[in-house]
Amino acid sequence: MPIFDFLGGEFIDVIHWVDDTRDTMVWRFERQGHAIKYGAKLTVREGQAGVFIHEGQLADVFGPGLYMLETNNLPILTTLQHWDHGFRSPFKSEVYFVNTTRFNNQKWGTKNPIICRDPEFGPVRLRAFGTYSMRVTDPGRFMTEIVGTDGEFTADEISFQIRNVIVQEMGRALAASTIPVLDMAANTADLGKLVAQAIAPTVAAYGLSIPELYIENISLPQEVEKALDKRTSMGIVGDLGRFTQYSAAEALSAPNSAAGAAVASGMGAAMGLGMAQRMGPWGAAPEAAAQAAPPPPPPPAEPVWHVAANGQSEGPLARADLAARVSAGTLTRATLVWTPGQEGWQPAGEVPALAGLFAHMPPPLPPGA
């Protein structure tokens, strides 16, 4: 029965809003024909603001409290429209409730990388992302600048614009900070404050404020991060040669590695050859193979000699040196010689090991010849 619904709506004189959502910023109180009766009660709770719109114009903004919609309580409205004490209100008005609490965990991030000049790496591309919170500080301006006549305005409808403002100022802050990339993590809090202060005038023009802005991460492209990881690994290893050996070993031990398979095959062949050599002739026992082929003894060391000449010892001299002296006539059978293991000095002609040097030499002449 529509007529009874309409009359019931006319007798309702309590205007209030209980928010059961987490993202509604503005909600319009719906009345039949937008008719507000004289003497209606307006309840505005903590964390809310009531915006009274009359004939499309902003009439008043109410903070938390209980209000009686009468002429003495609405001086601005009195200049716009006189109240009628009759059953029906002769004017059309609207009440919007604005949520003035914080809307937390709003996401922001750079869609495209920001090109900056790093003092160590040169030109680099940076990406950044984080969260922020926003709240309505000027409900009247927020209604006139952003909401308009939207009966239910959510945070998603304004968050995209706020993200654009944050990203634009974040690019300026990163480019002008001259902070090295490796030191960005230690300065994210200061950068967040700088960006929040820089965007405050722009956001205030919307009737909003940004109480908190956090930078969760500032990252480099994946290729640069991989190169930086290699540089860090080399710094940890310390020795480039050892790092090269380590990298080669990692490549050989990688699954399905052709190089690793080749090395494994070579090691297997070498091990098989070694076992075959230890086995000796095919079918023979290791002990028999060892007895059949003993290793040759090392060659004996050639003795060295010392020669007495002009009252002094000369040497050590090899046998070839002694043969040269015999040919030159400076070494005769009577020349005293000595070698390790020999008892004292002896004439060269009496040493059996040197007898061959004098085979073609005539013996000394007899006395009186």
Sketch the domain layout of the chain as residue ranges. Answer: 2-99, 103-220, 305-358
Residue of higher predicted confidence among 64 and 120:
64
DSSP state letters, 254-270: STT-HHHHHHHHHHHHH
Helices in 21-108 by DSSP H: which ranges? 75-80
- pLDDT score for 109: 92
Q: What is the pLDDT of residue 183?
A: 85
Tell me what percent of the residues of the chain surpass a pLDDT of 70.
Answer: 69
pLDDT of the residue at 21: 85
Burial 48-78 (b: 16+ CB within 10 A, else e): bbbbbbbeeebbbbbeeeebebeeeebeebe
Question: Sorting pLDDT into bands at 50, 70 and 90, what band is 297?
Answer: confident
pTM of the model: 0.55
Q: pLDDT at residue 66 above 50? A: yes
Taking only the tens place, the pLDDT of each residue in 271-293 is 666 665 655 555 445 555 455 56
Which range, 34-43, 81-90, 236-245, 279-288, is most confident? 34-43
Confidence (pLDDT) at 80: 44
Instruction: For residue 214, give Cα distances in angstroms to 126, 131, 169, 180, 219.
Output: 16, 5, 14, 19, 15
For residues 43-49, give the mean pLDDT: 94
| 98 three-state secondary structure | strand
Query: Is 3.30.9 the CATH classification of the domain at 305-358?
Result: no
Per-residue pLDDT for 24 more than 90? Answer: yes
Q: Which pLDDT tens digit goes with each residue over 11-22?
A: 447 889 998 888
Average pLDDT value for the chain: 77
Q: Residue range 321-332: average pLDDT?
A: 83
Helix, strand, or coil (residue 287): helix
What are 161-180's pLDDT values in tens digits? 999 999 999 888 888 887 88
What is the pLDDT, as a whole number, of residue 54? 79
CATH topology of domain 103-220: Tetrahydropterin Synthase; Chain A (3.30.479)
pLDDT, greater one: 248 or 209? 209
- Each residue of 195-225: pLDDT tens digit? 999 999 999 999 999 999 999 988 887 777 7
Band (pLDDT 50/70/90 cuts) for residue 157 is: very high
Higher pLDDT, 44 or 306: 44
Three-state DSSP class for 91? coil
Asked if residues 74 and 93 have their Cβ atoms less than 8 Å apart, the reply is no
The per-residue pLDDT for 215 is 92
Nearest to 344 by CA among 302, 310, 313: 313
